[in-house]
Structure 1
């Protein structure tokens, strides 16, 4: 093995893979059997954090950065004048095992440029996973980036060896994709998603009847879309995400802010990167839709097509709907509590449990970790009510922004001495 050449390939293909943010291993429970290598149970992926706070890592590379397509937004587009490289299948297998033995990684995230055609590329990705599982007895986490346009048979086989599969939707709308990647067909992205969804459902049903049925793609599937390469509104982006969650049972949709990598008249000018704050607001909205019972129309609509940059989407919604507040902490149901700005789902469960034994006052809410600098404007409790004094949405917003990260100062009667 030419170690210098392998090192050079690794440098090129790891750098090319950094633009893909759709990494997560949540949901995978592949356990180590027969004294094999690795264990993906409870693990994360690519410098992310598990539920217990551990930081975990993964070998994240492309099989090759050669590509037959010329997508305007992609660093590996065929017209880009960049250094090209390609791993052999066995080289990726050896790298993964050697890195794992040295405790550098806990799994593999493998993507690729498309060379020759979709099926040829997908076959090689699958072969890497197959060799790791069957020849190396590797039980660590494997995430394969599926190739748009790959056949159903290959997608089926991929799910037998990978923990998670993902096909990047790339651009939120069909018109945007047609503008920046006219060689690609949106249906080629959706077909593999549909196959994976159907197989996951089928295998789950069979496992109820036959316990020995293997788990198919145990960590499900995810996707990623580029934000800001075209002029879609936040509402359009979230409608696309909601459709993918509902129809294809996505575990996660990732939002990747556009980073200019080359000049193209169809793209935003060099130096106009999408701010990370927009990514953050989209993730917050995604969370509200999936776990807090909000609908897209409540957060984004024709009147408000884009998210506020200075405040989070839940607070923005609350300020537009002050007629629904204040909420009585001691009487409101779970959904009402979850809609109070500054109150997260963990706090909701704490409130529901604690109020079984006593009425809750401000001192109890503070101990629960509720963000009272925001929540105080939208709720009442067993202590003396806050001094609402008919404050307008703009006044409340101004107060919250002014307080920022400064020490919390309650609006209600300071003689209660609850926060000293």
Structure 2
């Protein structure tokens, strides 16, 4: 099989992996030119650094052969898909060729499991080692690690890669047992714990060898099992607290050919994935906990029609309106339509004078959403507006598509 044909197959097979973010990595330039990379090319994906830079990555699988038969996976053992496999030399050569042409700034490498976890992990590590040592590659490397690989191989992976990730696969252990019985939740958590220990030790000791300086992340599939949004967020919250993850990624289940009867026939609405990302953001940066975002009742599902922050505000109207001149930062962050940067600017402005409605307009916030929940020197909203009326005002239903193109 030609290299280009392998690239087509294994880049397409990697598209189901959502966790190729490079946030947290050190800033690097391509070939010293400051270039970002190409917007074209098989296997190239785009991620964003904390400063907003777009970083292009070569995103591929080492192989889509796999000894496991996870019901939800297109590359499962029993799947009737075209298979391919890169050699270590081929991945190294592809990465360097793409990098020298200024197409990419890094590599995201995952793999199906062949022979054993250790055998596969050894090849992934060897790719990263050769790039760093033999090719003197200074770009970003993200390795998807194998949960049951030996501690020595995990340690080697952390030495050469910027970020490591281990997929928890599904939100609950019950879901994993039902749909991926060959995988062990305890192996996954144990390996995550080892990665956290290695990352923390490297940070604590100035002279310690580098170890995954951009941290670790994970991914879970949403909608393949009966787990509710509350289940998903509780698992995410536990993972952040227990393993210091940089990010939990959500991937909406997509029906696959020759699917198991255990899987749903239809995918979940993509808006569900979007709402979960919004909820995850609220937990990480806005001080919300799971119980506030997805309270008991309503089957533990988020409202698909409005964002979770607005949903919380509508459930807690007794907290509003918030006085922009006196409210603490924690309460301002709970106002629908106010983000972290806007709150920071409001706090700076009010040190010098009292705030007015026009200040919100100048800051570019969505005043339609914000105005009913805040008060200023010259603005005080009515508190007796019917809840349904208020919801319709701040979150009007989306326009239906015009079938006639008008």
Pairwise same-fold verdict (TM > 0.5): yes
Aligned-residue offset at 1:215: 2.4
- 1:157 and 1:72 map into 2 onto residues whose CA distance is 31
- 2:346 and 2:58 map into 1 onto residues whose CA distance is 42
* Higher mean displacement: 131-140 or 56-65: 56-65
Q: Which runs of 5+ in 2 are unaligned?
A: 38-43, 400-406
Deviations 1:231-254 (A, max 9, x none): 110000000000100000000000
Partners of 1:59 and 1:108 within 8 A in 2: yes
Partners of 2:22 and 2:48 within 8 A in 1: no
Counterpart of 2:40 in structure 1 is: none
> Does residue 244 in structure 1 map to residue 239 in structure 2?
yes
Relative to structure 1, is the Cα distance of residues 30 and 192 closer, same or farther in structure 2, using a 3 angstrom cutoff?
Answer: farther
- 2:121 and 2:396 map into 1 onto residues whose CA distance is 53
Q: Which runs of 5+ in 1 are unaligned?
A: 406-420
- 2:223 and 2:4 map into 1 onto residues whose CA distance is 34
Counterpart of 2:41 in structure 1 is: none
Aligned-residue offset at 1:48: 2.6
Deviations 1:342-365 (A, max 9, x none): 111111001000011110110011
Counterpart of 2:199 in structure 1 is: 200
Counterpart of 1:229 in structure 2 is: 224
Aligned-residue offset at 1:301: 2.3
Counterpart of 2:73 in structure 1 is: 74
Residue 14 of structure 1, aligned match among 11, 15, 31:
11
Partners of 1:362 and 1:383 within 8 A in 2: yes
Residue 264 of structure 1, aligned match among 237, 260, 266:
260
Aligned-residue offset at 1:37: 6.0
Partners of 2:145 and 2:154 within 8 A in 1: yes
Counterpart of 1:415 in structure 2 is: none
Aligned-residue offset at 1:27: 1.3
How many matched pairs? 391
Residue 5 of structure 1, aligned match among 2, 7, 10:
2
Matched residue of 2:242: which SS?
A: helix
Aligned-residue offset at 1:46: 2.7
> Does residue 396 in structure 1 map to residue 393 in structure 2?
no
Paired residues for 1:81-160 under 5 Å: 81-160=80-159
Partners of 1:29 and 1:42 within 8 A in 2: no
- 2:325 and 2:267 map into 1 onto residues whose CA distance is 46
Matched residue of 2:142: which SS?
A: strand
- 1:99 and 1:25 map into 2 onto residues whose CA distance is 17
Counterpart of 1:409 in structure 2 is: none
Partners of 2:108 and 2:142 within 8 A in 1: yes
* Higher mean displacement: 294-303 or 326-335: 294-303
Deviations 1:12-43 (A, max 9, x none): 100100000001111122768xxx96799999
- 2:127 and 2:225 map into 1 onto residues whose CA distance is 35
TM-score by length of 2: 0.92
Counterpart of 1:414 in structure 2 is: none
- 2:199 and 2:68 map into 1 onto residues whose CA distance is 30
> Does residue 25 in structure 1 map to residue 30 in structure 2?
no
Partners of 2:35 and 2:102 within 8 A in 1: no
TM-score by length of 1: 0.89
Task: Note the aligned Cα RMSD (angstroms).
Answer: 2.1
Deviations 1:145-167 (A, max 9, x none): 00121111110110000000000
Relative to structure 1, is the Cα distance of residues 368 and 404 closer, same or farther in structure 2, using a 3 angstrom cutoff?
Answer: farther
> Does residue 348 in structure 1 map to residue 343 in structure 2?
yes
Residue 272 of structure 2, aligned match among 278, 281, 284:
278
